[in-house]
Amino acid sequence: MTIELLTNKKGNKISKYIYGQFSEHLGRGIYEGLYVGEDSKIPNVNGMRTDVVEALKQIHVPVLRWPGGLFADTYHWKDGVGPKEGRKKIVNTNWGDVTEDNSFGTHEYFELLRQLGADSYVAANMGSGTIQEMAEWVEYMTMEGESPMANWRRENGQNDPWKLKFFGIGNESWGGGGNMRPEYYSDLYRQYQAFVPQYNKDEPIVKVACGPNEDDYEWTDKIMSIAGEFLDAISLHYYDLPTNTWGDGNKGDATGFPESQWDSTMVNAKKMDELVTKHSTIMDKYDPDKRVSLFVDEWGMWTNSEPGTNPGFLYQQNTIRDAMVAAITLNIFHKHSDRVRMANIAQTVNVLQAMILTDGEKMIKTPTYYVFDMYQKHMDADLVEGFGEEIENVSYTASIKNGELTVSIVNYDKDKSQDIEFDLDNKYSDIVYSKVVTADKIDSHNTFDNPDVVTEQDFDGAELSNNKVSVKMAPKSVVTITLK
């Protein structure tokens, strides 16, 4: 199969924020995952565990969404600032009914961002909070001059304001965030956003409205028609369930699953293209200039929790199947980069389709982590269009940055290898980067006893000759090559 890449035709910029992360106060995602506290025996800097931070720095996390998720709409930010011994303890009613001691709050979040070199994406409490509470939080975070909240921030040890880049107003307001109708949410959003203070006029806060759940196209239409002029972005949530069963049903196991669930998972992953296409079409009706961004700020695999763990903690293993889903989905986001300008995989550590799993002092990187690592060269690169016959069970993407062409290909056929040829309309002299993630079994995964079962390896199956690149793809593999 031959694909022609139009390297001389400049495409849309692939926003680095497509590679964003999401970490909620859920299970062991923040506590034990990202944050262990200053007194922990686990090596840390200001409470942030060093091994996890260093691993995330390697994939250059561009933005981290926090504190939720459903947790955001029960979170009252004032409980999480000030001396830790005086912070209010609450019950996390959304995730396991465990006690939350609020030792990770606003200051800790921005310290984590500092260590990661990432931008902020804060989700405001619209569900159980007030407009005043929201406005005071923004004041606390961003006010440079004299004010009650800015002075309180200084008393708590932070003299300079932080940069609040993205601000979500409402999370899943159609469900756990308030069971609202789109008309009601739209009016409420208009009201809330009017009281988001903009203290830094040179860098205005990007205001994000709660968008639809999966294929709720009416929600998108109502939000855009009623509140479109007051928002900068609208969110979309979609999870890949192997069995398409929510509630108390069997979502499918992360490991030991039948071959049929490999196939259903790939079908569900590809559905992201349909969802983004149709929601974008609705947005085009009200916003033909594409001023408003589509943020897919929750996406990824959702399977049954691992046996023996708290089901409210959403801890699941991560296999080569997850790597396929990650690559397919990122390729789709690239394709729609004219509208999709952020995405946040759920979630960063120990929850759902995580980059990293921890167990006490131990840490492992997942197959999904290695896909994010291989795809880094696409961040803020220009999309390259490709033409040719569609190849069954193959997805690809290409981009150019700093004169280098990067091509990423996924062969998600669980049994068959693929020979693919890319015909280039420009001259490249050398393959300067060539990596692969692959595995023998459909549920191959890393464990704390065997952490390197699925890793990123050097790839020798690509050959450049006469402006053509030939790639021999093993089954269940993700490949990235860069040409110069």
Active-site residue list: 172, 298
Cβ contact 370:454 at 8 Å: yes
Rounded distance between C-alpha atoms, residue 343 and residue 20, angstroms: 6
| Residue written as token pair 């880094």 | 376
Write out the two tokens for 419: 């020979």
Write out the two tokens for 320: 């080569």
Write out the two tokens for 247: 């509630």
Rounded distance between C-alpha atoms, residue 439 and residue 366, angstroms: 13
Q: Residue 314 half-sphere exposure, CB side, CA atoms within 13 Å? A: 21
Supply angle C-alpha 50, 55, 57, rounded to 5: 95
Rounded distance between C-alpha atoms, residue 231 and residue 207, angstroms: 6
Rounded distance between C-alpha atoms, residue 368 and residue 209, angstroms: 28
Cβ contact 336:281 at 8 Å: no
